[in-house]
Amino acid sequence: MDELEQANIEQGLAWLSRRRKVDIFDDMFIRTLHKQLFGDVWRWAGQYRLTEKNIGIDPIQISMQLRMFLGDAQLWAEQDIFPPLEAAARFHHRMVLIHPFPNGNGRHARIATDILLDVAYKHPPIAWASGYNLQADNARRRDYIAALRAADAGDFDPLFIFVGAR
């Protein structure tokens, strides 16, 4: 399954590279991106989850919360509220916190965050893995999860450090 997922992600990234216009602040784009990244693996790809998970908000709130969050992120970019990597860390955290899809949220959120950096800030992508596989249990993944959990509690410094903002 991992090889199929990786092949589908690569196809999704190829699809993304062919697009002339990308609206990272549009919830339809967020869903389409997920479908392009995982549609060959999961038939429900691109559809918001309908059930509770051990992470994420109430499924009934996903659509509204995602649109509100994307509006916030657009304001951050248009008004230069945060430096690029800090905005990226906040964007990534909120996407993971909402957890809109049944699966693939971390990979989708990392790719969406890199799109945000490119489109809204003209900034290079984050070195998320730094040579490690973030899907496997290793020190980099543990640091990533710990940084997200700290951000859940309101302490964004570990996540800022993780993405290179500090």
Domain count, the chain: 1
Q: Is residue 107 part of a domain?
A: yes
Tell me the average pLDDT of the chain.
93
Q: Residue 45: give the domain boundaries.
A: 2-124
One-letter amino acid of 121: Y
**pLDDT tens string 14-65:** 998 898 889 999 999 999 999 999 999 999 999 999 999 999 999 999 999 9
For range 133-149, the mean pLDDT: 85
Put simply, whether the predicted model's pTM sits higher than 0.75 gets the answer yes
Task: Give the CA radius of gyration of the chain.
Answer: 15
CATH number of the domain that residue 38 is part of:
1.10.3290.10
**pLDDT tens string 87-108:** 999 999 999 999 999 999 999 9
Q: Is residue 89 part of a domain?
A: yes
**pLDDT tens string 106-119:** 999 999 999 999 99
- Whether 1 has a pLDDT exceeding 60, the answer reads no
Distance CA 156, CA 154 (A): 6
Task: Output the pLDDT for position 131.
Answer: 66
3-state secondary structure 13-39: HHHHHHCCCCCCCCHHHHHHHHHHHHC
